[in-house]
Amino acid sequence: MMGPAMTSALAKRLRSYLDLTTTEIDTLDLLERQRRPVAAGEVLMREGELTDRLVIIVDGWMHSSLTLPDGSRQILQLHFPGDLVGLSTLAWGMSGNTLTAVSTCTVATFPQEELTQLFRTLPRLAALFYTIAAAEQVSFSDRLASLGQTDARARIANLFLDIISRLRIGMPEAVTGGRFELPVTQSDIGAATGLTKVHVNRTLRRMEEEALIEREGRSVVLIDEKALVRIAGFRDRLRHIATEWLPSPTPRQSPPLMEVVAAR
Amino acid sequence: MMGPAMTSALAKRLRSYLDLTTTEIDTLDLLERQRRPVAAGEVLMREGELTDRLVIIVDGWMHSSLTLPDGSRQILQLHFPGDLVGLSTLAWGMSGNTLTAVSTCTVATFPQEELTQLFRTLPRLAALFYTIAAAEQVSFSDRLASLGQTDARARIANLFLDIISRLRIGMPEAVTGGRFELPVTQSDIGAATGLTKVHVNRTLRRMEEEALIEREGRSVVLIDEKALVRIAGFRDRLRHIATEWLPSPTPRQSPPLMEVVAAR
DNA sequence: CGTTCCTTTGAAACCAATCAATAATGGTGG
DNA sequence: CCACCATTATTGATTGGTTTCAAAGGAACG
């Protein structure tokens, strides 16, 4: 632990993977200088909308989704504080999916030019971003296998386990034992798992009968997590991200870390 | 167009997005100095296997897949020449999925340290890699929506359209009109679309009756591509990748591009 | 205190999986 | 070049998980 008081959600997240230099932290802080609240249910960015801005979730849950021509909706990812969202903007200059606030949120947005700047000046962070993108690709792969190969119960188990393992990393205070708040409707669970809300309801009910889970209001308790892991074929791939391959923290422009700290 | 004779498959791919400097091309060429053939059906990398190497497809088709505890298999992506594969290695130090040769292939492998080096010295390429990763994420998103929300016919239509649009970009000679070689079994199509081989067979047959496609041996003809696009809700997201946001080609270490060329 | 959204439940229809068996294809060695 | 074998493609009958349609009960909210 080092550097100035931490305010940046992104920096907080990245610090869980890596000790950051003060320069890196300052740069990340700068990305979040423009923060604003988003009401629950509000759409922050719509699919196909032209934009040059990326989003950092500072507080609350969001989700990204796609809507098909027939009106059906696929929820792609749940986003938590510290997530950097809207990368598709980089590739197309427009948003590739719709970004909606699940709960009341605070977000920060910044233009992609600032990421350009970051890639030029802080190669280690660039490499870390790339690594995180690689990890997300694996996460997408697991979801794909879940949707393609497993039944309703396994898909829901997979979703719950994915959520709880992400929360345990980024917001450990939001998980007690196997309990966590799930501020989404059964309809949303269906949109995420490729099931109808009716079948989600029946499946949740059955899982409760089987003593796999419990529900109390808006919160879920994973009673038999081991069984859920088995049912879903779940593999926790978030516990650790390899950072050994990253370039050294300070490129030639600036002095090594210890000197910076010593100079303060 | 500039620089030395092109041999690198990755450079060829990247050049379709961006004019590369000679330094960039030379660096990319270096990544492919260690090439080797892979027989059709051979597994190049197995899920969970420890490795520090990334893979560039030089020639042929490969696919990456996941196998679930119950033995079912999900094909995640088809890979074509110029694809950089195995990014999950960066995040975990091990392969996140199984990489198998569909046809006889040539691949190049290199240790991830060389990517570290590249991120430090060539920030523009680093940013381009990141952009491509973002584009792949969108591609995964579309597949997810396809599996989650559409029926068998739409999923297969989506797969075919995805393949043909990728081929048109990277290997235009492999597509004539709507015809392309598809060197995979119906079982593989099932593994990619989340269907059984039996149902794939029936669906292909029906699509043929409906004059959507035709099959001749190992090749497929998309007869009514417009209808297929409508059925699948397909959006071609590969045609263009935005490169305007990338840093300038040569960072301060080296002189600007025109001087390099002039000095030759 | 009504309105709206969400959850729950039932019945029927449907798409895709499973089980099973046969035909076609492709590759191999004699 | 042909016979043989293994793999792939095809087809039928049946089962089952999920969707659809419909409606009623709860909870949240202004």
**Claim: this prediction has a pTM higher than 0.85:** yes
* pLDDT score of A205 more than 60: yes
Burial A63-76 (b: 16+ CB within 10 A, else e): bbbbbbeeebbbbb
Q: Can you give the distance from the CA of residue B161 to the C1' of nucleotide D10 in angstroms?
A: 25
Question: What's the pLDDT band for A57 if we cut at 50, 70, 90?
Answer: very high
8 Å CB contact between B128 and B243: yes
Strand order, beta sheet including A73-79: A43-45, A98-101, A62-67, A73-79
Q: What is the pLDDT of residues A207-252, one digit of tens each?
A: 999 999 999 988 999 999 999 999 999 998 877 888 888 888 864 4
Residues 160-189 of A with CB under 7 A from strand C: 185-187
Number of neighbouring beta carbons within 10 Å of residue A10: 22
Those residues of chain B that have pLDDT short of 50 are: 1-4, 251-252, 254-257, 259-264
| Residue B200, helix vs strand vs coil | helix
Name every residue whose Cβ is closer than 8 Å to that of residue B144 and which is 6 or more positions away in sequence.
Answer: A66, A74, A76, A140, A143, A144, A147
Average pLDDT, whole number, for chain A? Answer: 91
> Closest to A245 (Cβ–Cβ): which among B76, B116, B134?
B116
Distance (Å) from the alpha carbon of A45 to chain B's nearest alpha carbon: 15
* Residue nearest C5 (alpha carbon to C1'): A185
| pLDDT attached to residue A250 | 60
A117-143: average pLDDT:
95
| pLDDT attached to residue B3 | 41
Q: What is the pLDDT of residues A134-146, one digit of tens each?
A: 999 999 999 999 9
Please report the beta strands in A68-138, taking only residues with DSSP state E, as ranges in sequence order: 73-79, 84-85, 98-101, 105-111
Q: Can you give the distance from the CA of residue B12 to the C1' of nucleotide C14 in angstroms?
A: 48
Name every residue whose Cβ is closer than 8 Å to that of residue A124 and which is 6 or more positions away in sequence.
Answer: A18, A24, A246, A247, A248, A249, A250, A251
Contact A123 B119 (CB under 8 A): yes
| pLDDT attached to residue A234 | 96
| pLDDT attached to residue A252 | 46
Number of neighbouring beta carbons within 10 Å of residue B34: 13
Classify the phi-psi angles of A216: left when phi > 0, otherwise alpha if psi is within -120 to 50, otherwise beta. Answer: beta
Give the bridge partners for A57, in sequence order: A107
| pLDDT attached to residue B242 | 80
Distance (Å) from the alpha carbon of A123 to chain B's nearest alpha carbon: 5
Name every residue whose Cβ is closer than 8 Å to that of residue A109 and which is 6 or more positions away in sequence.
Answer: A34, A36, A53, A54, A55, A56
Specify burial of residue B231 (Cβ count, 10 A radius: 0-12, 13-18, 19+).
Answer: buried
Q: Measure the CA–CA gap between A138 and A124, rounded to whole angstroms.
A: 21
> Closest to B242 (Cβ–Cβ): which among A91, A134, A136?
A91
8 Å CB contact between B159 and B167: no
Please give the structure tokens belonging to residue A173. 């205070």
Q: Measure the CA–CA gap between A246 and B120, rounded to whole angstroms.
A: 9
Q: Measure the CA–CA gap between B190 and B169, rounded to whole angstroms.
A: 25
> Closest to B76 (Cβ–Cβ): which among A68, A135, A144?
A144
Q: Determine which helix (DSSP H) or strand (DSSP E) holds A62, and give its type and residue range.
A: strand A62-67
Please give the structure tokens belonging to residue A40. 């629950």
Q: Determine which helix (DSSP H) or strand (DSSP E) holds A200, and give its type and residue range.
A: helix A197-209
Q: Determine which helix (DSSP H) or strand (DSSP E) holds B55, and give its type and residue range.
A: strand B53-59
Q: Measure the CA–CA gap between B94 and B84, rounded to whole angstroms.
A: 16
Q: Which amino acid is located at B247 in the chain?
A: P
Q: Can you give the distance from the CA of residue B218 to the C1' of nucleotide C28 in angstroms?
A: 21
| pLDDT attached to residue B47 | 94
| pLDDT attached to residue A248 | 83
Considering Cα of B222, then B224, then B225, then B229, what sign does the dihedral take?
A: negative
Longest dimension (CA), chain A: 63
From the list B220, B223, B199, the residue with the least C-alpha distance to B211 is: B223
8 Å CB contact between A106 and A36: yes
**DSSP line for B13-47:** HHHTTSPPPHHHHHHHHHHTSSEEEE-TT-EEE-T
| Residue A166, helix vs strand vs coil | helix
Interface contact A151, partner B, CB < 8 A: no
Question: What's the pLDDT band for A151 if we cut at 50, 70, 90?
Answer: very high
Number of neighbouring beta carbons within 10 Å of residue A5: 6
8 Å CB contact between B107 and B35: yes
Q: Measure the CA–CA gap between A164 and A78, rounded to whole angstroms.
A: 11
A46-55: average pLDDT:
95
